[in-house]
Amino acid sequence: MIYIGKFFYVTNQQEIEEAERRHGEFDLIIEAGDGQGAFAAFKERIAEIRAAGDFFMGHTSIFFIQLLEFDRFPRTQALMLNLRSTAGDPLMPFIGCSLPSDQGDACRIYDWKNNRPEIDGQNEQLFLEFRE
């Protein structure tokens, strides 16, 4: 199966200067036998990326947001994976839709509360953390 994981992260939230703090999102993709194998591969890759460069430096918290599973990729029509719609400035919450189509949109409301992502009013669980 092909797995696509979506993650949110925060780094250096303890810093006084806003320019020193970061937050964002990223996706990872892998072919694995099952979801647990994909989770293990995601953790391993995130640690490799941190060790090899400037991503996820300092105190970093990573939150697993979504797992998409495919047995194959579409061949006749492109598939939209994630749509993000934001009102106002970047500090506002946003609406995110996974695999939107004419059959359904799977939209949720994403927000940040106390440096933790919140989806539809529920705090997300910590997936991985690096401490300095």
pLDDT digits (tens, 9 = 90+) for 106-127: 778 888 777 778 878 887 788 8
Question: What does the alpha-carbon distance between residue 22 and residue 37 come to, in Å, rounded to a whole number?
Answer: 29
**Is residue 77 scored above 70 in pLDDT?**
yes
Give the model's confidence band at 15: pLDDT under 50 very low, under 70 low, under 90 confident, else very high: low
In the chain, the percentage of residues whose pLDDT exceeds 90 is 30
Name the helix (H) or strand (E) containing 38: helix 35-52
Spell out a b/e string for 80-93, using b for 16 or more CB atoms within 10 Å of the CB, else e: eebeeeeeeeeeee
pLDDT digits (tens, 9 = 90+) for 87-100: 665 566 777 777 66
pLDDT of residue 121: 83
